[in-house]
Chain A
Amino acid sequence: MGLPLFDAVSDPGPNFYELISASGHQPFTGGTHDEQIHATTVIAVRFREGVVMVADRQATAQYVASRDIRKIEAADKFTAMAISGSAARGIQFIRIAQLSFEHYEKMTSSVLSLEGKANFLSPIIQENNFKSPLYVVPMLAGYDPNHNVGRIFEYDGAGGCYERADFNVIGSGSQFAEGALRLGFVHDMDLESALELAALALYEAGDNDPSTGGPDFVRNIYPIMVTLTKDGFQEIDSDVVGERFRRINDRRAESRGIAGGQLR
């Protein structure tokens, strides 16, 4: 590509997606009859200081395609993108989101609001899901430094964007995780309670959904857990996450696989 200069009328402005579309890339069209690889369960829970997120590590086709993929990435300092559905499209989606937010910032010398980022993704999701069988449903969560609060944005397959006041789950393990979250969610939880609830909900999903990978004690591969607070996107150390899942697993072994009449 040469130097992309435009006149004022055809200028794509600070919109990176329009820029790459103008230069001939059509990232979200077409499909394939090959077997698709899917990414599954991601959970986000609001708590007092922000948002906690957790995601399993398994990518699934008719078989386990990967045991250690990352379904949550930092989109920028205060924002996380998570994906479910087609792994190929999801990963591309994360890259485009990351670049779009940074591109906007560099072009305009100002940072997009969290709501602006959430709305920006809607038509791109819609375009992909209407034009291609490689379905993708992402989730955006972050700490909103303009309003000092953690926020979660959910999307439907048509790109509709809905803000959630409590928690959100995407992917095939949703119904199992959602059950645990519904019973355990309390407004204004502290960090520890939010981490424990999110981990427990993911454990449930891993236990019941064949496409969701639980903690893998054999290979030492554990779900990704992140926090989004005024300190930005922070990933929790894998060993610490592993210990948390080991405790849940021990409790579950004690009660012979039954949750035991309470969230445990």
Chain B
Amino acid sequence: MSSSFYVNPEQLVNDKAQFAQKGIARGKSIIAAIYDQGVLMVGENTSASLNKISEIYDRIAFAGVGKYNEFDRLREGGVRWADNTGYVYSREDVDARALANFYAQHIGDVFSSDTKPLEVEILVTQLGNKVRPTKLYRIGYEGTISDEPHFAVVGGEAEEVKRRFAAGDGKVESLVDTLKNCVSALAGPDRTLAVEDLEVGILEDRASRRTFERLSDDYVRDLLA
């Protein structure tokens, strides 16, 4: 007859948290910041095809750090949820807060019930309009969700990057200035990041309904020049 041993829940949670943190710490950070015309997301990514920053819906974007297969499945679930919600109701009814809550619930459920927690941290960002506000939601590996007012960071060196970015004057600036601040916050004092190793996406109102745009290396180079 087999019997399961008693494990102190506090120890279990701590062990899981430590495990997830270790996984996430291996990944590079991603920063999302509000600028005067929209929302900017910048991350370090040496791959040009395995994206960390993606479009979810007309005014919603996603960024994930940690294990690629785990956050990419979450991204897919988000696209599916958004497209289905817009189909059943209306495009106006697709809201980042609802999606961020689903993510938080799912990640939290996996953390408490599965053997292995998800080694991911994600950002859900929304460009505001007349109906909804501009929002940055950060969801941690244990399902904690936070609503960040001006900028948000996920990933290995999140605290460092956060401190460096917050050292600026905190004003909402142009895309160029915000991008420069984000890149220097990611790089830190001792490194310079090559444009090829950056992944940059924005949500900005232009002519089309879909506001997400992935910025090309050439365009980013021009902006940083």
Contact = CB atoms under 8 A, between A and B. Distances in A.
B55 interface: yes
Contacts of A25: 88
B83 A16 contact: yes
B76 interface: yes
A30 interface: no
Contacts of B85: 1
Interface of A: 1-5, 16, 19-20, 23, 25, 95-96, 99, 102-103, 106-107, 109
A1 B103 contact: no
A1 B77 contact: no
Contact of B102 (A3, A107, A109): A3
Contact of A20 (B51, B74, B79, B84): B84
A103 B55 CA distance: 11
A103 B83 contact: yes
A19 B102 contact: no
Given A2-B102, A3-B106, A106-B55, A23 B87 contact: no
B29 interface: no
Contact of A4 (B84, B86, B87): B84
B105 to A, nearest CB: 8
B87 A95 contact: yes
Given A20-B87, A99-B87, A3 B76 contact: no
B45 interface: no
A3 B103 contact: yes
Of A1, A5, A99, most B-chain CB atoms within 10 Å: A5
Which of A3, A25, A96 has the most chain B CB atoms closer than 10 A to its own CB?
A3
Nearest to B87: A99
Interface of B: 49, 51, 54-56, 73-74, 76-81, 83-88, 102-103, 105-106, 210
Most chain B CB atoms below 10 A, which of A4, A16, A20, A107: A4
15 contacts: A1-B81, A2-B102, A3-B77, A3-B105, A4-B77, A4-B84, A5-B74, A5-B76, A19-B80, A19-B84, A20-B84, A25-B88, A99-B87, A106-B55, A106-B56
A107 B79 contact: yes
Given A20-B87, A99-B86, A99-B87, A4 B51 contact: no
A4 B81 contact: yes
A25 B83 CA distance: 14
Contacts of B79: 103, 106-107
A109 B77 contact: no
Nearest to A103: B83
Contacts of A107: 76, 79
Contacts of A96: 87
B98 to A, nearest CB: 10
Of the listed residues B49, B54, B79, B81, the one surrounded by the most CB atoms of chain A closer than 10 A to its CB is B79
Contacts of A99: 83, 86-87
Contacts of A103: 79-80, 83
Given A106-B54, A106-B55, A109-B51, A1 B84 contact: yes
